Amino acid sequence: KRRNPNEVEFLQATREIFDSLRPVFAQHPEYISSGILERLTEPERIVTFRVAWEDDAGRVHVNRGYRVQFNSELGPYKGGLRFHPSVNSSIMKFLAFEQIFKNALTGQPIGAGKGGADFDPKGKSDREIMRFCQSFMTELSRHIGPDIDVPAGDIGVGKREIGYLFGQYKRLKGGYEAGVLTGKDPSHGGSLGRKEATGYGTVYFTEEMLKEYDMSLEQKTVIVSGSGNVSIYAMEKAQQLGANVIACSDSSGYIVDKNGIDIECVKQLKEVENRRIKDYLKTHPDSQYFDDCSGVWSVPCDIALPCATQNELNEEDAKLLISNGVLAVGEGANMPCTNEALTLFQDHGILFAPAKAANAGGVAVSAMEMAQNSMRLRWTSEEVDARLHVVMRSIYESCIDAAERFGKPGNLIMGANVAGFLKVADAMAAHGLS
Ligand code: NDP
């Protein structure tokens, strides 16, 4: 706390990890004596930089860019870029810190990083987005590379932005290093199945958790927050597995469609036309729209999938969900539930799939994109999806095993934190003091 004053999100993320690790330290005091925790919570490197760009009217704007290279024990730094006005060093550090454990859980050779800028893409023209991306990459290119640090997308950074960032990197390096970014369009070096991976993976993980208690998604009522990349594909997979998905949101409000959300319509609105979720009403007059995005948690459901942003589901929201009979919560976004909400879910026996494990499918398929780029070949969607399914099952198993081994059977929050920690901590020990 002394070293990171005012970094609320980062402190929240570290506190959750520390709480989970107590039983590990009790059995293995060597982790304490070797200073693993102090080293693990200090990023290897943070780069912040000026991003100056010109809008269509010729006015100059300055934003702040970040890349947090948190941990490279298991491979090149890996994690997305976020363009959103709320971006600051606390948010960048919490996201990169979470990425350490998530990436370790995937079992793939990737370290952890995160980056972005306090740039608001909303309302910007295509040319403005391109100029911003070019300016951002002009500095970032000094710090990344296929074997050093491989960024990807996150909030506000999709395949369009990745395309512009990649184009600028290619220009600066004078060569084609396909593996420097992931989340590329499949038509030029991206992996099939990457776009769907985080949302599908969240649902695969939730399905594993339900199976343990002889349940499935079949005929369950599901609500999802957000209507971006993770949300859309979480809704799609939940529907494919027989659930009735009745609500989703954006940062302005939420819709309820008792007939089941028309996913193709949400894709058209959000992926193609960049419109608001409210516009769903125009083609679905039987549905309802409400002006407050956090109200989505008041919709009665069996399963809630928060897939929008950090701390979007607080204690009051958790109380509402519980009183409406929720059975399970699966985190598609990073740290969407506050620690108070988490405690409440656990105290009431609600099945809980934590983000580090449940949303690791995106980065797992990003690592598959890196592998395909290195091998200069391309797997089919079916192949990628099958591999994703295997990875999500194996993450689930690792979480269950770790929770059992350290005395909290069935506690997936603890299991995910411990299983991820052990992989990284053992690599740190093997690599000596650094
Ligand atoms: P997108 O930018 O594609 O979508 C974000 C969505 O959330 C938008 O619909 C946005 O609405 C909405 N939103 C933002 N704030 C709120 C809020 N307070 N309440 C309700 N809705 C809100 O981002 P992604 O889908 O890529 O990312 C979502 C989350 O998932 C983030 O936490 C991200 O870190 C995490 N994640 C993403 C991965 C990926 O592969 N993309 C991988 C792993 C984690 P609006 O359009 O109004 O802004």
DSSP string covering 62-105: EEEEEEEEEE-SSSSEEEEEEE-TT--HHHHHHHHHHHHHHHHH
Query: Shortest CA distance to 321 belongs to which of 290, 359, 348?
Result: 348
Half-sphere exposure of 353 (CA within 13 A, CB side): 33
User: What does the DSSP 8-state code read for residue 252?
Assistant: S
Query: Residue 420: inside a domain, yes or no?
Result: no
Catalytic residue annotation: 114
CATH number for the domain harbouring residue 58: 3.40.50.10860
Ligand 1 atom nearest to 294, measured from its CA:
19
Q: Do 71 and 210 sit in the same domain of this protein?
A: no
Q: Is residue 171 part of a domain?
A: yes
Report the C-alpha gap between 201 and 386 in whole angstroms: 11
Confidence of residue 382 (pLDDT cuts 50, 70, 90): very high
Range of the domain at 177: 42-191
Does position 265 have pLDDT exceeding 80, yes or no? yes
Q: What angle separates helix 339-347 from helix 8-27, to the nearest 10 degrees?
A: 50
> Predicted confidence band at 434 (pLDDT cuts at 50, 70, 90)?
confident
Identify whether residues 73 and 172 lie together within a single domain. yes
Q: Report residues whose beta carbon is within 6 angstroms of any ligand 1 atom.
A: 153-156, 198, 225-231, 249-252, 293, 307-309, 312, 332-334, 359, 362
Q: What pLDDT does 336 receive?
A: 98
Q: Is residue 212 domain-shared with residue 342, that is, in the same domain?
A: yes
Query: CA triplet 89, 423, 179: central angle to 5 degrees?
Result: 65
Given 140, 166, 191, the domain boundary residue is 191
- Same-domain pairing of 186 and 282: no
Distance 155 CA to ligand 1 centre (A): 5
Of the pLDDT bands very low, low, confident and very high (cuts 50, 70, 90), residue 1 is confident
One-letter amino acid for residue 417 of the chain:
N
pLDDT at 4: 82
Q: What is the value of ipTM here, to two decimals?
A: 0.99
Q: Is residue 6, in this structure, part of any structural domain at all?
A: no
Q: What percent of the chain has pLDDT over 90?
A: 97
* Cα 244 from Cα 205, distance rounded (Å): 18
Spatial contact of 330 and 230, defined as CB atoms under 8 Å apart: no
The Å distance, Cα 313 to ligand 1 centre, comes to: 13
> How many separate domains does the chain show?
2
Residue of 157, 120, 193 lying closest to 378 (CA atoms): 193
Tens of pLDDT, residues 145-201: 999 999 999 999 999 999 999 999 999 999 999 999 999 999 999 999 999 999 999
Contact 141, 172 (CB under 8 A): yes
Question: Domain holding 206: CATH number?
Answer: 3.40.50.720
187 and 46 both lie in a single domain: yes
**Are 293 and 305 in a shared domain?**
yes
Structure tokens at 54: 């010109």
Average pLDDT over the chain, rounded to whole?
A: 97
Q: For 119-123, which contacts have Cβ atoms below 8 Å and span 24 or more sequence positions? A: 119/51, 119/63, 119/83, 119/84, 119/85, 119/87, 119/156, 120/83, 120/84, 120/85, 120/156, 121/83, 121/156, 121/161
